[in-house]
Structure 1
Amino acid sequence: MQVSDYIVKKYGRTAFPRETMLEGGTDDMSISDLIAVIIGKGSRYESVFAISERIIRDYGSKTIAEIKDPAKIDQMLKIGLVNSCKLVAAFELGRRFYSPSVKRKTLIRGPEDIYGHTKEMSGFIKEVFRGLYLNTKSMIIHDENISVGHLSGTLVHPREVFKTAIDCSANSIIVVHNHPSGEAQPSKNDDEITKMLKETGEILQIPLVDHVIIAESGYYSYNKEGRL
């Protein structure tokens, strides 16, 4: 039996993760598959799949993603500095692309300012749910992507939204998400999420100022439409 046949039998996939991506894209690839693509090849003692699955099993993708020191990654995973640098770079790219930082405190006076701050979301092919956290002067002190979903929708829970608000001592919050379909009109699910976040904000005394939907056609503001 060839080595590649053994890996297919053991792991139920092609011996080369790049081929999996080339043949069918990333939708059906697991996190360990994606890590295998980044690492590229295994060592003398482990296949690339064994390495990637060991990383997820022993440390979890979130823990690894939060470490920015390649030497520390290598110390933990024993995958070499080159591969450690690849992992750190890949996770950092993801952070910078999906988690925009606030270089200066942006004043939010209304939905036009919200749209101006987030309009790049109209081009996203996946649905992204984003939180803007404001101080007492209605200036953004924290900007975070809360969840990233598929075209069918994204799961949002008040716990994730308001935990960050408490952590950064926000006075109020705004939530924004995009519609990859191109139409900004809210769905029934959008209405339910807005109602749930509004009620949670009232209990915690961290009010939901607005929920804005971004799309190629423009934007929809629950506040502007008198629905908050």
Structure 2
Amino acid sequence: MRRRKHALPAWCRIVRERPEAFEREVLAENLHVRSPRDAVVALAPRLAREEVEVFLVIALNAQHRMIALQEVTRGIQNCSLVHPREVFRIAIAIGAAAIIVAHNHPSGDPAPSADDRAVTEQLVAAGRLLDLPVHDHIIVGAGSYTSFAEAGLL
């Protein structure tokens, strides 16, 4: 009897056959994230120059060192569509132990909106199911930031 190969999902084939399609910014300094401020040091230079909302995921290894920083989505001036599937696809593909998500507010005010809170709740719930914790959601504004972890919103 002949065995049939099980077809891999498309994204899995891309990761295995064409890793360049899943390239990520690998952080040369392998920054150890001990606090939200450590993550902001890596995020702020990139997010500060953006004129639209950009949603990023930081992949962490088991020692809480940044192993990758990946853009998940790019929106318009005051919103960006984010789905847990896209956030966790990246984290699972690179073998992250935990993630931090972040985005900017081009208006400069890093206060979380109702949509920011709803997305965070979705991501935290999905992370629990996948056993891939979301350690923080950071919003970067003009010279300041809001950390959901520091504010007790996680």
Judge same fold: TM > 0.5, yes or no: yes
Whether 2:66 is the aligned partner of 1:129: answer no
Contact 2:26 2:67 in 1 (8 A): no
Larger radius of gyration: 1
Letter in 2 for 1:178: N
Per the alignment, residue 218 of structure 1 pairs with: 144
Deviation at 1:100, TM superposition (A): 4.2
Q: What SS class does the counterpart of residue 212 from structure 1 fall into?
A: strand
Matches within 5 A, 1:44-193: 100-120=25-45, 121-193=47-119
* Deviant stretches of 4+, over 2 Å: none
Deviations for 1:149-204, whole angstroms, at most 9, x for unmatched residues?
11131110000111111111111000010000010000000000000000000010
Identity level (%): 34
Deviations for 1:38-66, whole angstroms, at most 9, x for unmatched residues?
xxxxxxxxxxxxxxxxxxxxxxxxxxxx9
Deviation at 1:103, TM superposition (A): 1.8
**TM-score when normalising by structure 1:** 0.56
**TM-score when normalising by structure 2:** 0.81
Higher relative contact order (CA 8 A, sep 6+): 2
Q: Runs of 5+ in structure 1 lacking a partner?
A: 1-65, 69-94
Q: Which has the larger helix fraction?
A: 1
Contact 1:135 1:171 in 2 (8 A): yes
Contact 1:123 1:216 in 2 (8 A): no
CA distance in structure 2 between the partners assigned to 1:221 and 1:143 by the alignment: 17
Q: Which has the larger strand fraction?
A: 2
Count residues in correspondence.
Answer: 133
Contact 1:127 1:151 in 2 (8 A): yes
Whether 2:127 is the aligned partner of 1:209: answer no
Q: Runs of 5+ in structure 2 lacking a partner?
A: 1-17
